[in-house]
Chains A and B, each alone.
Chain A
């Protein structure tokens, strides 16, 4: 299908909206009625047609507006994009991966024409038509990683792999759930995960790292992560906490359905060929509570998950104070009926709300 791109904002007046299509394909992250951290990784080999899993890099109706938001963040704070000197080759790898994937997966939107190292890249939604020399930085307006990730939804952490460890040595991070590239740059896998509760004790990071070190070319992997955001804000960075933190206190029983958003990250992992680095795209999807409640199964399940979530997780994810308000709202959509397994909404088979 051709995508109608929204003209919308993720700040100030918050005109962000999800179409029915976007709600239906929202990556609801709970496959059962409860949630705990786990090593939830699987191969990234496509998925059901139309789902966010189908393509290597999903493009949706928010693309153009998200890229506009990113440009604003970078204007104010250039340190959201950093690349240590040895990571330039990985940047070229990433540029190639995204250009190849998008031009193959969305030929009506993106084109890549290659004649040896002379490349022409056409990005129709953003109105870009550039010719440059592959591996020659002087022929691009930015470094290769910055150039391509200004044209790709989601954050990108680029990890160098050395001595059986991953190092956060480059990234484009403007839509993050309260962590900072400028703080984490140069850290290793265990160091940047230090603030996460309970997962270390459960051995999750040791196993996850072993898996990631072994991710091979041509065999990408993925997982989902989630948190909560009041107002459809992409940029919930620690640098701006003073701006968005207070918005959490503005939630009321009247506005919660519209203001409270479930924030889901589709995280993927690709081995990069020339540099042997690993890229970790973190694609953020937002959906308001009231839109989620249009799927009866999600209404039932979200209530149960939020109600029963361990305190440590609700605290770390930053919604412990608003949890009672959320549970009050969500309980209206839970009639106690059982839910089908898996993340899909199962519109046709799940009964409508019985109250």
Chain B
């Protein structure tokens, strides 16, 4: 996997928050300090689930300036791909795991005069870190947090205790709902709104804000671009006359290099064009992830950028 740098951590605390949500604390295996981060950042947790690698992104919820540990909260999803089940059922205190450096796709707009947070369910987690960040600089913020019930309202009491004026909680089972139109209407100029929650909630807030004439740049929502672990595949390198296996945790470029075949590269991020490789034959489907090739080239089946792109299918023969 090209992409973020990794950190070896140890699970030092597991806390059940309620029926669905569990919190995990990570510290560095080598005892050193973790990188600081910006509120809204996530880390990608690698799990080795009986030979299947799972890569799940989780928002960092701890104080961004606390470098001794990170915490995340995982909501059990009984229907999902299994990462959350793995975290709930198989991870124990003392286990060593690998996480990525923090990556932020949901950062605060630091120009904002006021930050208006709208959270649904487990979507509260990035806001916990952002609130800690803003509190340090006396930032102006307000939170509106909808949860199913008091029993499932992760961190709701803690928030309302500590920030009685800023934090507002709504329970579905008590028929409480955010009065969104009025809320948006009453905001001072220069307010930015941030939404993290189920897709329906994101669309609802986006739509309402748009109807009320909010500038698009003032509305932010969390989009997880989860790195997909690739499936292993086999490639034939025609010039060097080798058949090689690409594992799920390495890029095609890394596999080619591992086999001692010299392949050009520069950026290793799909942008520079150096690694462009001709396809001689294939039976299957390409997973193109580069920014280099044009759409027509992606569709043509004649080229691949091995630093980021993959393949699924029976045979792939490369001119390398």
Q: In chain B, what residue has the closest Cβ to A208?
A: B271
A133 lies within 8 A of chain B by Cβ: no
Known contacts A40-B272, A162-B109, A274-B64; decide if A218 and B291 are in contact (CB<8 Å).
no
When distances are taken between beta carbons in the complex, the residues of chain A under 8 Å from B270 are: 211
Is the CB of B36 closer than 8 A to any CB of chain A? yes
Question: Would A216 and B271 count as touching, CB distance under 8 A?
Answer: no
Bound complex: CA A84 to CA B109 (Å):
13
Given contacts A86-B110, A216-B101, A217-B102, contact A275 B38 (CB under 8 A): yes
- Within B32-85, the residues touching A (CB, 8 Å) are 35-38, 40-41, 64-65
Asked whether any CB of chain A lies closer than 8 Å to the CB of B14, the reply is: no
CB-CB under 8 A from B268, the residues of chain A are 42-43
Contact for A276 among B5, B35, B38, B65, CB less than 8 A: B38
What per-residue 1/0 map shows which CB atoms of B98-116 lie under 8 Å from chain A? 0001111001011100000
Partner of B267, one of A39, A163, A276: A39
* Complex contacts, B158 vs chain A, CB 8 Å: none
Contacts of A86 in B (CB 8 A): 109-111
Contact between chains at A218 and B110 (CB < 8 Å): no
B38 touches A216 (CB 8 A): no
B150 within 8 A of A: no
Contact B38 A274 (CB under 8 A): yes
Chain A residues, CB < 8 A from B217: 162-163
Beta-carbon contact of A206 and B291 below 8 Å: yes
User: Does A113 sit within 8 A of B, measured CB to CB?
Assistant: no
Q: A39-B272, A207-B292 are in contact. Are A217 and B37 (CB under 8 A)?
A: yes
Closest to A164 in B: B105
CB contact under 8 A between A218 and B272, given known A42-B266, A89-B110, A206-B291: no
For residue A19, CB closer than 8 A to chain B, the reply is no
Indicate whether A161 reaches chain B with its CB closer than 8 angstroms: yes
Q: Which residues of A contact B110 (CB under 8 A)?
A: 86-87, 89, 160, 275
For the complex, give the distance between the alpha carbons of A161 and B108 in Å: 10
Q: Is B269 an interface position by the 8 A CB rule?
A: yes
Q: Mark B125-151, 1 if CB is under 8 A from A, else 0.
A: 000000001001100000000000000
B109→A207 contact, CB < 8 A:
no
Which A33-90 residues sit within 8 Å CB-CB of chain B? 38-43, 84-87, 89
Let me know if A349 is at the binding interface, CB within 8 A: no
A38-B273 contact given A211-B291, A216-B3, A217-B101, CB 8 Å threshold: yes
User: Which residues in B have some Cβ–Cβ distance to A below 8 Å?
Assistant: 3-5, 35-38, 40-41, 64-65, 101-104, 107, 109-111, 133, 136-137, 216-217, 266-273, 291-292
The 4 A-B residue pairs whose C-beta atoms are closest, nearest first, are A211-B271, A218-B5, A86-B110, A276-B107
